[in-house]
Amino acid sequence: MSLKTAVFSAVASHWTSEAALRKRRADAEKARRRAGTPHLVEYFHQVDDPYSHLAAQALQLIADRYAIELKPWIVGAPEDWAAPERALLLDYSRRDAARLAARADLSFLDPGMQPSDAGIAAATARLAAARDPVAFVGTAVTVGEALWRNSEIRRPEGLAAEGLDPAAAVAAGEARRKALGHFMGAMIHYGGEWYWGVDRLHFLEERLAALGTRRVGAPHAPLFAPPVIPGGRAAHPRPGLVLHYYLSFRSPYTYIAATRAEALARAYGAELKLRFVLPMVMRGLPVPPMKSRYFTLDTAREARRVGVPFGRIADPVGTPVERGYSLLPWAIREGRGFEFCLSFMRGVWSEGIDAGSDPGLRRIVERAGLPWAEAKPLIGNDDWRAEAEANRLEMIDLGLWGVPCFRVDDVSVWGQDRMWVIEDALIARTGS
């Protein structure tokens, strides 16, 4: 292992650790108390983002449960680098938000299209006129319902006379979000930490409750607790039932989903089919430091929740990924494909193993139950590239573009947050 890799791995291990997270939170609380300020929760609302529509509904309930001060901002759509497949993202977000709304008992129905520019402008103007934070969130919900139903939204009169400029409000929101270090809508910021919409709200609730902000009589259960993936049970194999797992060795979310994907397949008797693709950055899609930083910290938080070791990182981008992929088809043929995937990803995401070196890759291969003598001559071949591209094209046909993705029959989802959708599909398919 090079000195650079060793140093990066050690720094990442500390930075992503629970101890570091606790210190960051403690420091934020000390600063808040010294300043004598309230528990300030900042929320960034994008009017044409369905996840923002769900987040606004949830924030109404959060404000009732916890003694916080809410500071909402208006933001526009993310920049191209944050949404490299924008058309696919827009279509998928609506479908996914409709599923999430039904699961979380919130309101959103996919109209099959994005709101009109005129509707977005009117909705933005209405929010710019909502001076009170509580009124803002209520207006966001009401206006959002109308916007997604394609109903007429009345633009408020006299904004200029009151010194209110919707474009300036959006610019201010985007500047504040950037200063705090983010790029998406539906984001919630508290005490130096980010929470994405409904999916990460339970982390915020847990933190606020620990600080003693829960109001008297407020429920203790989170608004939306992440569903639990079954473990331990095993069903008899069901011929023809396949759980397709679209993965990338360079995706930390892919890694922390791996054992759950295998557990799902085992619990319902499905074949787990490994569908590897090139990482986005190796396909020419940008992953700037701001995006990578948030994803890494969010993965660390999620990894702790699901009990997966994470943080001692040896970034496998480039040659290490290619070396791993050159062996993966062979490992699959040997019946050790999942074991190899897990060994590789655990090595680079939690153990600081340099998969670009022969000693590192040998360790990964042998603990997957595969012989290094057979693996070594295969390293560096390009036979896998056609399969990786075919897998990517299939994802695009499904309306998906990043990993991890999962598919059972005609049900497909993006992200380790949506494995409950796949479990529902497996239950429907098997009657279990």
- Fold match between domain 38-210 and domain 242-430: yes
d(CA 327, CA 320): 11
Mean pLDDT, contiguous 10-residue spans, the chain (432 residues): 84 96 98 98 98 97 96 95 90 98 96 96 93 90 96 78 81 97 97 97 97 96 87 84 98 97 95 95 74 95 97 96 98 98 98 97 98 98 97 97 96 97 95 82
d(CA 192, CA 242): 42
Hey, what CATH class is 38-210 in? alpha beta
Note the pTM of the prediction, 2 decimals.
0.95
Residue 113: per-residue pLDDT = 96
In contact, 45 and 70? CB cutoff 8 Å: no
What count of other Cβ atoms lies within 10 Å of the Cβ of residue 224? 20
Q: Which two tokens stand for residue 159?
A: 């904004």
What count of other Cβ atoms lies within 10 Å of the Cβ of residue 79? 11
d(CA 378, CA 4): 27
Q: Strand 40-45 relative to strand 69-74: parallel, antiparallel, unpaired?
A: parallel
DSSP per residue, 159-190: TTTTT--HHHHHHHHHHHHHHHT---SSEEEE
* Type of residue at 203: F
Q: Is the CA virtual torsion 206, 208, 209, 211 positive or negative?
A: positive
Residue 298: per-residue pLDDT = 98
Give SS3 for 338.
Answer: helix
Residue 370: per-residue pLDDT = 98
Q: Strand 405-408 relative to strand 242-247: parallel, antiparallel, unpaired?
A: antiparallel
d(CA 420, CA 103): 10
d(CA 372, CA 393): 32
DSSP per residue, 87-103: HHHHHHHHHHHHHHHHH
In contact, 56 and 142? CB cutoff 8 Å: no
In contact, 177 and 202? CB cutoff 8 Å: no
Q: Strand 193-196 relative to strand 187-190: parallel, antiparallel, unpaired?
A: antiparallel
Residue 82: per-residue pLDDT = 86
Residue 159: per-residue pLDDT = 64
Q: Tokens 């990182």, residue?
A: 313
Q: Quick check: bond before 156 cis, omega within 30?
A: no
* Type of residue at 293: R
What count of other Cβ atoms lies within 10 Å of the Cβ of residue 40? 13
Q: Return contacts of 280-284, CB within 8 angstroms, 24+ apart.
A: 280/84, 280/248, 280/402, 281/250, 281/317, 282/250, 282/317, 282/318, 282/321, 283/392
Q: Which fold has domain 242-430?
A: Glutaredoxin (3.40.30)
User: What contacts 426, CB < 8 A, 6 or more positions away?
Assistant: 241, 243, 264, 267, 268, 270, 408, 432
Q: How many CA atoms lie within 13 A of 228 on its CB side?
A: 4
d(CA 60, CA 65): 9
Q: Is 125 left (phi over 0), alpha (psi -120 to 50) or beta?
A: alpha
In contact, 331 and 370? CB cutoff 8 Å: yes
Give every strand in the sheet of 271-276, ordered side by side: 271-276, 242-247, 405-408, 411-414
Q: Domain residue spans in the chain?
A: 38-210, 242-430
d(CA 200, CA 182): 15
- Backbone φ, ψ for residue 429 (5° rounding): -75, -35
Residue 117: per-residue pLDDT = 95
Closest CA to 317 of 86, 13, 17, 8: 8
* Type of residue at 328: L
What count of other Cβ atoms lies within 10 Å of the Cβ of residue 64? 11
